């Protein structure tokens, strides 16, 4: 049985053609081989005039389930769109990695109702924590993301069997209290973009609170990347219409990745509040996107290895806001630095910032007003230690409490 278009052969041919058409902006590589020996293609789209460390990184994949051709078609459609003049600005701000078929064998076989790879292993069983990937295809994708440490990953699927309406699956990070509402907010924005273009979304997004062992689930928890599985409709629209519907949502996601929102100070996908919230947040450290990506991965691993909790202590006793970071002896991975942000009363005047038992130099912290209050950001150029760690912000206010804590 021949797989529906785009077939595996179609994808390989078009990847080579796109790289040849725009050699300065697009490059083609094989990142590995499937269990049956088929190449797994990667298109890397980026403007080389801007160094990679000065841009964020997004991974878009398709063809994870071999019987869902819409995911393959939408991933290729995004590559074509980004090489058009009106969309090339994204390549000045982001490195876009596109793997249009992560499951070559399943795509080639196109067995009805079979979503796994050629050996029948489904995507949610490939990336279990503490274990190597269960498939050859999974190993290739794991090596790719460990090299690039993407800020976001969008895996495009198709709702096999049809039915009108696109949908999404959402993958929280270890910081569930923060990441879950942010995921829903972004899902609403791409849903609205689809509806404005005439492509409605079916039902509310599905949230995977329990860890899923596919690549988006693994990346969200292990690297604190912003991850979604996007579903497009199979057997409803003509394939060209399904691609247009997918592009509306993917291009809106790229725009969100270039905005400064979600308590972040750098334009990016909402991935930099690794723990905590606006009242007291732990964030990646570094002057470039590349450095912050490495820092975010290290912080995520530190949390998983042994940070039982993180947050701002209540009451600000003595007008000192304290953000605590306990690190257990089981932790082996330490970031080289940390960034903290906290929101204070807008009438506050910050006088000193302390890290551990010493005053943090004034050039390592800054303050700015927002509608919600005064935001303090401190950048600590040293690793935390086993035991208690704390950032303290001393401030003054022009009033007295009605009750002293």
Contact 157, 229 (CB under 8 A): yes
Which of 244, 222, 242 lies closest to 234 in space, CA to CA? Answer: 242
pLDDT, tens digit (0-9, with 9 covering 90-100), for 123-133: 888 999 889 99
Q: Does the pLDDT of residue 80 top 80, yes or no? A: yes
pLDDT for residue 2: 60
CA-wise closest residue to 55 among 89, 22, 30, 21: 89
User: Which of 104, 211, 194, 94 has its CA nearest to residue 152?
Assistant: 94
State the pLDDT at residue 111. Answer: 64
CB contact at 8 A, 124 and 198: no
Q: Is the pLDDT of residue 1 over 60?
A: no
CA distance 138 to 20: 28
Please, how many CA atoms are within 13 Å of residue 346, restricted to the half-sphere of its CB?
5
Close Cβ partners of 20 (under 8 Å, ≥ 6 residues apart): none
By percentage, how much of the chain surpasses pLDDT 90? Answer: 83
Confidence of residue 331 (pLDDT cuts 50, 70, 90): very high
Domains, in order of start, for the chain: 8-256 (3.40.630.10), 275-396 (2.60.40)
**Burial readout 198-210 (b: 16 or more C-beta within 10 A, e: otherwise):** ebebeeebebbee
**pLDDT on residue 3:** 66
Work out the pLDDT band at 24, boundaries 50, 70, 90.
very high
pLDDT for 383-399, tens place per residue? 999 999 999 999 999 99
DSSP β-ladder status, 167-171 and 206-207: parallel
pLDDT at 150: 98
Neighbours of 125 (CB within 10 A): 15
Q: Tens of pLDDT along 34-56?
A: 999 999 999 999 999 999 999 99
Tell me the mean pLDDT in the region 263-288: 98
Give 159-213 pLDDT, tens digit per residue: 777 777 888 999 999 999 999 999 999 999 999 999 999 998 876 799 987 778 9
Q: Is the confidence at residue 113, as pLDDT, over 70?
A: no
């Amino acid at each position: 049985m021949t797989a529906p278009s785009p077939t595996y052969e179609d994808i390989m041919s078009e990847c080579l053609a796109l790289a040849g058409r725009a050699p300065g902006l697009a490059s083609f590589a094989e990142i590995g081989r499937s269990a049956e020996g088929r190449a797994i293609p990667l298109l890397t789209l980026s403007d080389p005039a801007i160094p990679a460390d000065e841009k964020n990184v997004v991974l878009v994949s398709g063809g994870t389930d071999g019987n869902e051709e819409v995911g393959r078609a939408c991933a290729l459609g995004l590559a074509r769109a980004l090489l058009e003049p009106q969309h090339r600005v994204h390549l000045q701000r982001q490195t876009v990695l596109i793997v249009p078929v992560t499951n070559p064998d399943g795509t080639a076989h196109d067995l009805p109702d079979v979503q796994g790879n050629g050996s029948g292993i489904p995507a949610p069983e490939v990336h279990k924590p503490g274990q190597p990937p269960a498939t050859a295809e999974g190993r290739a994708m794991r090596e790719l993301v460990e090299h690039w440490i993407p800020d976001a990953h969008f895996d495009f699927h198709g709702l096999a069997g049809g039915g009108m309406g696109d949908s999404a699956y959402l993958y929280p990070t270890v910081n569930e209290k923060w990441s879950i509402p942010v995921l829903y907010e972004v899902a609403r924005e791409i849903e609205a973009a689809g509806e404005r273009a005439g492509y409605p979304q079916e039902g509310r997004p599905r949230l995977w609170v329990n860890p899923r062992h596919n690549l988006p689930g693994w990346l969200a928890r292990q690297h604190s990347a912003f991850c979604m599985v996007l579903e497009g409709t199979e057997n409803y629209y003509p394939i060209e219409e399904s691609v247009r519907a997918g592009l509306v949502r993917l291009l809106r996601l790229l725009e969100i990745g270039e905005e400064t929102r979600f308590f972040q100070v750098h334009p990016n996908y909402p991935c930099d509040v690794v723990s905590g919230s606006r009242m007291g947040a732990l964030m990646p450290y570094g002057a470039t996107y590349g450095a912050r990506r490495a820092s975010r991965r290290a912080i995520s691993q530190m949390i998983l290895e042994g940070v039982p909790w993180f947050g701002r202590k209540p009451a600000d006793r003595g007008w000192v806001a304290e953000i605590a970071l306990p690190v257990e002896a089981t932790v082996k991975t330490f970031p080289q630095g940390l960034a903290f942000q906290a929101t204070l009363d807008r009438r506050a005047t910050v006088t000193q910032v302390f890290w551990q038992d010493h005053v943090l130099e004034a050039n390592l912290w800054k303050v700015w007003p927002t509608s919600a209050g005064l935001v303090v950001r401190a950048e600590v150029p040293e690793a935390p230690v086993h035991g208690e760690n704390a950032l303290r912000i001393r401030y003054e206010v022009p009033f007295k409490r009605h009750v002293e804590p």
